[in-house]
């Protein structure tokens, strides 16, 4: 059994993927081929924003927005404590101060009450200037973007949504990627929409921001490639990846997104009496980048993971260390109680195999073992 089955997906779409790749090979337009433009148009249309700018990966996508907004030394950027390292890394790399905020136990996403408290604390301290909120759509579930928007307006902050895991999710039909002033995603192979290497994108309705990012991602280009008007980076999605994404976006829209939601329904029904199953709030729709259960304590979690491994069932712990505990951020001062939820989650979460090609037999096997272990 695969944690995320890329083999079956490739076998199913082999003909179209191979032919897209073949076409790029024959054209030899490996950088900026026509497929890049095509996928940007399709992605913008699907997400429901005016601009999609592709780049080399999801981390660069966020870095480009930080650069475009001029975020640097003395700026405070608020983000959830329970996320992938990169969300905090890009803030510190820009020279700004990441302010970690605890998360909601049910949704795993940033706790909006604690977010507002953190903003007030930074304002009272007077050492840093609050600038940006980076909510994360963790495990595919959109963060509480309506409440976050209200807080951002109140304190005049910009919102950059890290939707690396969120692509395909929505709130009352409004798709992930269209919230905030800008949103980013990742096409890392195991994300909800993945390519065959690294890739990423920025979504925004802000025309000026879009133009600036288009310049920044190609060495701060001006009129053309050899006119450089600012310092930038080199961050592009290559044509081969764009070709692969064309086929995979279609599969994602045609059936994959619905299929993972089907798996979620079955998992939840089968597991709800044995463990804490994911909670999707009313009106929210998840793309299930991960299906994550909660156990009673670390002991039970670790025992279950070992039992699963015994039966060759893969599972993952996302994340076993909240950001405030990462050594790279050890210069930060913090109070442990501020992160009580993230601390508990890192002890009790376990992500199960989740993808559109999971068979009923696979689901059966996983659920039988979990119900047996967690009675
Ligand atoms: C994967 C991921 C990223 C980084 O994406 P890359 O394409 O690997 O750079 C950032 N944030 C979150 C929450 C992620 O899951």
369 lies in the same domain as 278:
yes
Give the whole-angstrom CA distance, residue 237 versus residue 239. 7
Average pLDDT score over the chain:
97
Q: H-type helices in 170-238, by residue range?
A: 207-216
Whole-number Å distance, alpha carbon 163 to ligand 1 midpoint, is: 8
| Nearest ligand 1 atom to alpha carbon 136 | 13
User: For the whole prediction, is pTM greater than 0.85?
Assistant: yes
Cα separation, 62 vs 66, in Å, equals 6
| Residues 6 or more apart in contact with residue 106 via CB below 8 angstroms | 279, 281
Q: Is 137 in the pocket of ligand 1 (CB under 6 A)?
A: no
Among 93, 109, 139, 188, the mutation site with the greatest number of ligand 1 atoms within 8 A of its Cβ is 188
Say yes or no: 36 and 159 in one domain. Answer: yes
Read off the pLDDT band of 140 (50, 70, 90).
Answer: very high
- Indicate if 262 and 175 belong to the same structural domain: no
Structural domain includes residue 62: yes
Is residue 34 one of the residues assigned to a domain? Answer: yes
- 375 pLDDT band (50/70/90 cuts)? confident
Q: What's the pLDDT band for 112 if we cut at 50, 70, 90?
A: very high
Identify whether residues 212 and 287 lie together within a single domain: no
**CA-derived radius of gyration, the chain:** 21
CA of 186 to the centre of ligand 1 (A): 6
CB 244 within 8 A of CB 196: yes
Give yes or no for residue 333 having a pLDDT over 90: no
Give the atom of ligand 1 at the shortest distance from the alpha carbon of 83: 13
Overall average pLDDT of the 323-343 stretch: 94
Say which CATH number the domain at 296 has.
3.90.1150.10
Domain count, the chain: 2
Residues 156 and 59 in one domain: yes
Predicted pLDDT of residue 105: 98
The model's pLDDT over 221-238, given as tens digits with 9 standing for 90+, comes to: 999 889 999 999 999 999
Same domain for 149 and 57, yes or no, is yes
Tens digits of per-residue pLDDT, 183-201? 999 999 999 999 999 999 9
Give the integer Cα–Cα distance in Å for 173 and 263. Answer: 21
Read off the CATH number of the domain in which 201 is found: 3.40.640.10
The closest residue, in CA terms, to atom 13 on ligand 1 is: 84
pLDDT above 90 (res 332)? no
109 lines ligand 1 (CB under 6 A): no
Taking 90 as the threshold, does the pLDDT of residue 331 lie above it?
no
Distance CA 271, CA 269 (A): 6
């Amino acid at each position: 059994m695969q944690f995320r089955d890329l083999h079956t997906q490739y076998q199913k779409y082999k003909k179209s993927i191979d032919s897209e790749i073949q076409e790029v090979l024959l054209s030899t337009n490996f950088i900026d081929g026509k497929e890049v433009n095509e996928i940007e148009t399709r992605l913008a249309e699907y997400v429901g924003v005016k601009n999609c700018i592709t780049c080399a990966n999801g981390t660069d996508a966020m870095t480009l927005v930080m650069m475009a907004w001029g975020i640097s030394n003395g700026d405070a950027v608020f983000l959830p404590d329970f996320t992938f390292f990169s969300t905090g890394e890009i803030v510190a790399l820009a020279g700004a101060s990441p302010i970690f905020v605890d998360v909601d136990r049910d949704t795993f996403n940033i706790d909006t009450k604690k977010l507002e408290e953190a903003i007030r604390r930074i304002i009272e301290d007077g050492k840093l200037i609050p600038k940006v909120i980076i909510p994360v759509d963790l495990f595919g579930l959109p963060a509480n973007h309506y409440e976050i928007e209200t807080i951002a307006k109140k304190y005049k902050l910009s919102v950059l949504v890290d939707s690396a895991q969120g692509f395909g999710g929505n709130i009352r039909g409004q798709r992930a990627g269209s919230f905030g002033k800008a949103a980013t995603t990742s096409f890392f192979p195991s994300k909800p929409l993945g390519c065959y290497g690294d890739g990423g994108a920025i979504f925004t309705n802000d025309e000026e921001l879009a133009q600036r990012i288009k310049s920044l991602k190609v060495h701060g280009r001006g009129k053309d490639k050899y006119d450089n008007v600012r310092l930038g980076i080199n961050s592009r999605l290559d044509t081969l990846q764009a070709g692969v994404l064309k086929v995979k976006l279609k599969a994602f829209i045609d059936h994959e997104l619905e299929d993972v939601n089907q798996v979620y329904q079955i998992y939840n029904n089968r597991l709800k009496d044995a463990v804490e199953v994911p909670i999707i709030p009313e009106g929210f729709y998840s793309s299930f980048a991960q299906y994550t259960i909660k156990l009673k304590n670390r002991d039970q979690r670790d025992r279950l993971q070992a039992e699963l491994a015994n039966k060759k069932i893969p599972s993952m712990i996302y994340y076993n260390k909240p950001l405030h505990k990462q050594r790279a951020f050890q210069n930060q001062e913090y109070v442990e109680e501020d992160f009580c939820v993230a601390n508990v989650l890192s002890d009790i979460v376990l992500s199960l195999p989740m993808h559109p090609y999971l068979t009923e037999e696979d689901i059966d096997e996983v659920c039988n073992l979990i119900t047996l272990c967690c009675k």
